[in-house]
Structure 1
């Protein structure tokens, strides 16, 4: 019978031998819980201290510090749920601190439950097709969802999805402010939190309906234009436009001049123009409060033609007058002014009387202006002014005219 005592020498200064590499390593992954369980066989070293568990991301190296240290032959870990592949290895450690080589890599591909970052940099812009919402690209996102509400803190509903970094909301109401928030989705379907809200207003691009019932009546001041009231709810004004007829009798075009704006609560306009017998064409356009013009958008309008009255005097004005006459509207009638004529002692003012078919003397004046306070409104007035000399003679007259609206 032999008896002996044994005291293992486990200090690091004596023991330089690494433990054996653990065997039987295997890993299982629970997709429901996202947990990975690594198990291995027990080492038989008498001086075994335990095991170290290491983890690395695919493409990376194992860190110097272990993920965990255990005396058990299994370990449960929850790797980040990012949809990436992670590798585990087990190393045995003895009491002297010697560490074995690692087991073969045990791979785990996690379920991706990590949402992408929240989209930022939102902006809006009105386009003919709708209201465009844009944002900055989000790393890892494969698509985006766009949500809309009637107010910044209102209930947001999904209005569309896109793989681009912008979305045109064709269902946005015109001339109405809408609020938007955007989320990002990754390949696993994870959706980010909603972005901060951004507001935008889709421009009203719907033109008013066409103006109907247009009539044009020649008058002594030009034309009286009338039309039916337009039923457009957001009507802002009418535009009365006159034009010149071009082409032959078989095919004529109405070449329009710039128009005159009339308030939305009226349906007539006194169009003043020298009534000299010319034929003109007219349209009446409708404009809403967003600036949409029925004629500009559709290119269609009711065209009415009319021939002016011929109010021009039947007496021709002689040439060679030294007087330079100008007729302008005055506060109480027609303001006549002219440049002074050398050697003139005064001036004679005449106005055309269409009934008498003659220029009739209105006044004699020493100055270079005269206001015709008796000029009737709603007609066209023609004037002569002559220079009078000391011997009683008069110069040839200079002429001008002025239309006074009703």
Structure 2
């Protein structure tokens, strides 16, 4: 018999194996892998096969595997949509390596997303919240996601091929958090961007005030209006003004801010001395963000009214040596009258009065009627008998030594009715 044992040490065996033949490659798009196969080499000292791979356009080979079989499935090939070349080389027990097979090309499926967008910011505009971000290479479109907390559940609210998006569905005065992703040509979606927070500024005014009525009274006017339905109502403002334009034609109410009132208020007493003037009023509703229909449009539904005329038919003459001031007193003290001149109080006078007489106008008798008389030096009197909810007119005179009176000084006081 005859036996042969090949000499396989590297110092003795310098012969390379033959290049493998019958090489083929198939790409599985579902599994994103490449399967190579080839014919078995016939060398008795064959040790196995080495698989090499390179990216198209590159000269650098990588060796993903070594095998003794005549096929290999490469599950590590990147799913980037790029083309890769494979070749197989045989090697023997002495370490000799054959030349590579002819390159076998595969084009991989693209399952690699781009990087997430950067630079995301949210800006409040009148029509919604605008989002802006930096562009990403390879992007075909972008998806916008929104949540009400940074780490909450994000819902897609839109998509765009631009580098900005206007979220018109954002509700005013609510803080939202946004993240943006990239879609590439293969439909791969990137990771979500870093969150950006934004709050849509409240620019919506409350509805205009309705149902305003203005009723003249002896102390001015009583205003009433309908309750405003705005949920974020903060206050009302009352304006009083004068009518500009010719009577009988369209007139403009040139109003001046008179009073701020709490949100729950639907009425207001405007006190003034009624002397028959024709005036106008309007009421504006303001929300917690400072919005109001009058602020934005500079228009409002105004109501015109004519004051009652409570002016006494007897005028106060000029030339009195006294000065009178009448003001509503606190509580039940009526109206407070104070005067000066003719030695009133501690004031020095060459001819001090021997006393002072106080008169109040009585519309029923159309005359000033005396309600009190003081001694010399007095300067103050509380008219506790004054009617509330009206305008009271007063005179004060000084009494001379011979009993005659000086010319009167006059003033008036307006009091609201008891509530």
Specify if TM > 0.5. Answer: yes
Name which of 52, 55, 63 aligns with 1:54.
52
Q: In the alignment, what sits opposite 2:63?
A: 66
Q: In the alignment, what sits opposite 1:405?
A: 416
Deviations 1:104-158 (A, max 9, x none): 5544332223455677898766644245567787776543444567899998764
Cα distance in structure 2, aligned partners of 1:140 and 1:279: 73
Deviations 1:139-191 (A, max 9, x none): 76543444567899998764432345654443455677878776543332234
Question: CA, structure 1 residues 97+301, in 2 after alignment: closer, same or farther (shift >3 Å)?
Answer: same
Q: In the alignment, what sits opposite 2:111?
A: 113
How many matched pairs?
Answer: 402
Q: In the alignment, what sits opposite 2:281?
A: 282
Q: Is the 8 A contact 2:360 2:394 kept in 1?
A: yes
Question: CA, structure 1 residues 352+85, in 2 after alignment: closer, same or farther (shift >3 Å)?
Answer: farther
Q: Is the 8 A contact 2:326 2:413 kept in 1?
A: no
Displacement of 1:55 after TM fit? 2.9
Matches for 1:16-31 after TM superposition, within 5 Å:
25-31=23-29
Q: In the alignment, what sits opposite 1:303?
A: 302
Question: CA, structure 1 residues 48+317, in 2 after alignment: closer, same or farther (shift >3 Å)?
Answer: farther
> Any idea what SS the aligned residue of 2:388 has?
coil
Q: Is the 8 A contact 1:56 1:88 kept in 2?
A: yes
Question: CA, structure 1 residues 219+93, in 2 after alignment: closer, same or farther (shift >3 Å)?
Answer: same
> Any idea what SS the aligned residue of 1:66 has?
strand
Deviations 1:326-378 (A, max 9, x none): 84653434445678774157885846525345485656484765544444332
Deviations 1:269-318 (A, max 9, x none): 21123334332122233455665534445655432212223445553464
Name which of 239, 247, 254 aligns with 1:241.
239
Question: CA, structure 1 residues 386+205, in 2 after alignment: closer, same or farther (shift >3 Å)?
Answer: same
> Any idea what SS the aligned residue of 1:32 has?
coil
Q: In the alignment, what sits opposite 2:390?
A: 379
> Any idea what SS the aligned residue of 1:67 has?
strand
Cα distance in structure 2, aligned partners of 1:118 and 1:233: 40
Q: In the alignment, what sits opposite 2:30?
A: 32
Q: Is the 8 A contact 2:316 2:408 kept in 1?
A: no
Q: In the alignment, what sits opposite 1:223?
A: 221
Matches for 1:359-378 after TM superposition, within 5 Å:
362=372, 364=374, 366=377, 371-378=382-389
Cα distance in structure 2, aligned partners of 1:398 and 1:17: 137
Q: In the alignment, what sits opposite 1:81?
A: 79
> Any idea what SS the aligned residue of 1:248 has?
coil
Question: CA, structure 1 residues 6+224, in 2 after alignment: closer, same or farther (shift >3 Å)?
Answer: closer
Cα distance in structure 1, aligned partners of 2:88 and 2:199: 61
Deviations 1:2-52 (A, max 9, x none): x997753641x5556666665665432121221112345666666553332
Cα distance in structure 1, aligned partners of 2:101 and 2:320: 119
Cα distance in structure 2, aligned partners of 1:396 and 1:19: 140
Question: CA, structure 1 residues 9+254, in 2 after alignment: closer, same or farther (shift >3 Å)?
Answer: same
Structure 1 stretches of 5 or more lacking a match?
none
Matches for 1:59-208 after TM superposition, within 5 Å:
62=60, 66-78=63-75, 79-99=77-97, 102=100, 105-115=103-113, 127-130=125-128, 141-146=139-144, 158-164=156-162, 167-172=165-170, 184-191=182-189, 207-208=205-206
Q: Is the 8 A contact 1:315 1:358 kept in 2?
A: no
Q: Is the 8 A contact 1:127 1:202 kept in 2?
A: yes
Q: Is the 8 A contact 1:37 1:77 kept in 2?
A: yes
Q: TM-score, normalised by structure 2?
A: 0.70
Question: CA, structure 1 residues 59+363, in 2 after alignment: closer, same or farther (shift >3 Å)?
Answer: farther
Structure 2 stretches of 5 or more lacking a match?
none
Displacement of 1:77 after TM fit? 0.7
